[in-house]
Amino acid sequence: MGKLFAVILALVALASAYPIVTHMYVQPVDISTHGHAIDEQLSDTMAESGFAFLGAQLLLAFFVWRFSNRKNGSKVKHLPGGAKLMVATAFILVGTEVLALGVLGQKAWADVYFTAPKQDALQIQSQAGQFAFYFRYPGVDGKFAPLHPDKIDEGNGNYFGLDLANDVEARDDVVTAELAIPVNREIQLLMHAKDVNHSFYVRELRIQQDFVPGLDLSVHFTATKTGKYEIVCTQLCGLGHYNMKAYLNVLSQEDFDKWLKEKASEQ
Amino acid sequence: MAMKQGFIAGLAALVASAVMYAGPSGGTISGKVTYEGTPAKQKPIDMSKEASCAKQHATPLTTETVVTGPNNALENVVVYISAGAPDDPAPPSQPAKFDQKGCQYIPHVLALQVNQTLEIANDDQTSHNIHPLPKTNREWNKSQPPGTPPFSEKYDKPEFIPVKCNIHPWMHGNFAVLKNSHYAVTQGEGGFTLPNLPPGKYTISAWHESYGDQSQEVTISGSETKTVNFVFKAKPY
């Protein structure tokens, strides 16, 4: 009975590793310049934790096989050093694993977070609010007009709180519900939350960044493939969270210019 | 020939007076609501996050904070008697209906009476939440998934109440809760008629969601019809 259990244990462990090892789950297409670093990191993490998982399960199966069917009264043998040695070994092994992931992963992280965007990066502001994303382009003057939260009037399409009557700079700002960007150009997304925490997640961009009310955060990225991708909120933000989404539309520079002109005429 | 024309005219006058006599008693205030200046440009609404609604509009819906008609007519203005008319003893038994269709409120401005049943329906294939923002009435915020039956509410104080849907931030409407049954909401041509007013001195008011309130004094004697026009100043921003 003990031996059968050991075999089942080993088989379950191997079967759960199979889809990972054979890459049955295909990653969504990567459309960013930094995405490969994140993918490599994910696959390193998967390999490291996969080996640890398999090793632990197979060792357990071995012990179950080896020491099952023992006769009553037979003497138990301990590894030398007692529990202290075991705890110290586990501490070193797990510590090394966690530290190694951090050290190896810092490059992927630093590329996105500790490197400043280029000077010519296109700045776009995003406003997240219950339960939609809106985006703002600075218009021909290249400047974002200041925001006045008291002026927010969604029924009037004033999602950001622009003071069109008094700020001349605000009149050319282009506000949209879609995030259109030119391909192969760095984008700096300035993130502003109107009410509670939200998150900007585009799996193809390999970007997931929270919006935090009161903190003006930003991320920068460069998209390398044209197409339409979904932006979803991944922070539970209330009743309509499930429906909080928008679209990222990666266009050629020419199509982007056309799109921006058309949106500007609608303001 | 002249005799015949005179006869016809006389007959017409007789018929007309008989119709007036047979009609409801009291005077009438009628008129038109217009704007002067340049109203704010209405923006197209991007509903792409709600595909089931977006496909119901062949051309994108626009915002409706200022809706105009031909010859500077101003729509969605609530014209009502704010003083001088007695409060109605009971609200009308018919419910006032407010519909959500294509992620739009229909009508954009719903006038109803104090304590009249307000019936709210969701004709969309998506969930809405109806969140009116009153200042003197009780506030509520109700979710209405697709396929659920209409629900009813009432307001017990007169008030102009903006209405929004948090799930679809572009959805915006208004409830005008009024004290009596003498009201009209202007449509395409901007005209209104308030009939059946007993003789007396009235304050007639016009309310627009972006341009605010205006009032005029009118005295009605007998069954006369008085013309009252309202002109709102429109600004581009």
What Å distances lie between residue A218 and A169, A211, A230, A236, B148, CA to CA? 22, 9, 19, 20, 41
Is it the case that residue B20 has pLDDT exceeding 50? no
Nearest chain A residue to B172, by CA = A155
Burial A191-208 (b: 16+ CB within 10 A, else e): bbbbebebbbbbbbbbbe
* pLDDT tens column, B200-213: 999 999 999 999 99
Of B40, B126, B169, the CB nearest to A132: B169
Identify from B167, B208, B209, B210 which residue to disrupt to test chain A contact, counting A C-beta atoms within 10 A and taking the largest count.
Answer: B167
- Omega within 30 of 0 (cis) for the link into B107: yes
| CA distance linking residue A13 with residue A207, whole number of Å | 32
Of A129, A156, A171, the CB nearest to B63: A156
Task: Provide the CATH number for the domain formed by B25-83+183-237 in this structure.
Answer: 2.60.40.1120
Residues of B whose CB is below 8 A from A243: 49-50, 126-127, 167
Q: What residues contact A191, with CB distance under 8 A and at least 6 apart?
A: A125, A126, A128, A200, A209, A211, A216, A217, A218, A219
Of B48, B127, B164, the CB nearest to A177: B48
Smallest Cα–Cα separation from B186: which of B21, B31, B27? B31
Comparing B18 with B185, which gets the higher pLDDT?
Answer: B185
| CA distance linking residue A104 with residue A99, whole number of Å | 8
| Domain ranges (residues) in chain B | 25-83+183-237, 86-181
Average pLDDT over residues B75-92: 92
How many CB pairs below 8 A link A and B?
Answer: 66
Residues of A whose CB is below 8 A from B41: 267
How many CA atoms lie less than 13 Å away from A208 in the CB half-sphere?
8
Q: Which of A23-27, A235-239, B172-176 has the lowest mean pLDDT?
A: A23-27
Nearest chain A residue to B42, by CA = A156
pLDDT at res. B15: 44
Is it the case that residue B24 has pLDDT exceeding 80? no
Average pLDDT over residues A136-154: 93
Smallest Cα–Cα separation from B90: which of B185, B180, B195? B180
* pLDDT tens column, A210-267: 999 999 899 999 999 999 999 999 999 998 999 999 999 999 999 999 999 999 999 8
Inspect the interface and report whether the beta carbons of A245 and B126 lie closer than 8 Å: no
Tell me which architecture the domain covering B86-181 has in CATH.
Sandwich (2.60)
Identify from A151, A152, A156, A168 which residue to disrupt to test chain B contact, counting B C-beta atoms within 10 A and taking the largest count.
Answer: A156
Nearest chain B residue to A243, by CA = B167
**pTM for the model:** 0.84
Inspect the interface and report whether the beta carbons of A156 and B65 lie closer than 8 Å: yes
pLDDT band at B48 (very low <50, low <70, confident <90, very high): very high
Average pLDDT over residues A177-192: 96
Is it the case that residue A56 has pLDDT exceeding 70? yes
pLDDT band at A185 (very low <50, low <70, confident <90, very high): very high
Is it the case that residue A30 has pLDDT exceeding 60? yes
| Domain ranges (residues) in chain A | 2-70+79-113, 122-266
The sign of the dihedral angle between the CA atoms of A134, A135, A138, A140 is negative
pLDDT band at B14 (very low <50, low <70, confident <90, very high): very low
Inspect the interface and report whether the beta carbons of A178 and B48 lie closer than 8 Å: yes
Chain A residues 232-251 with CB within 8 Å of chain B: 238-240, 243-247
The sign of the dihedral angle between the CA atoms of B168, B172, B177, B182 is negative
Give A136-142's long-range contacts (Cβ < 8 A, gap of 24+): A136/A160, A136/A173, A136/A174, A136/A175, A136/A176, A137/A173, A137/A174, A137/A176, A137/A260, A137/A263, A138/A172, A138/A173, A138/A174, A139/A171, A139/A172, A139/A173, A139/A174, A139/A264, A140/A172, A140/A264, A141/A169, A141/A172
pLDDT at res. B206: 98
- Whether B25-83+183-237 and B86-181 share one fold: the answer is yes
| CA distance linking residue B226 with residue B32, whole number of Å | 12
Q: Average pLDDT, whole number, for chain B?
A: 90
| CA distance linking residue B232 with residue A128, whole number of Å | 35
Token pair of B105, please? 């409120």
Distance between B73 CA and the closest CA of chain A, angstroms: 20
Burial B141-169 (b: 16+ CB within 10 A, else e): eebbeeeeeeeebbbeebbbbbbbbbbbb
Number of other residues whose CB lies within 10 A of the CB of residue A260: 18
Please name the fold of domain A122-266: Immunoglobulin-like (2.60.40)
Q: What is the dihedral of CA B61, B205, B177, B88, to 10 degrees?
A: -140
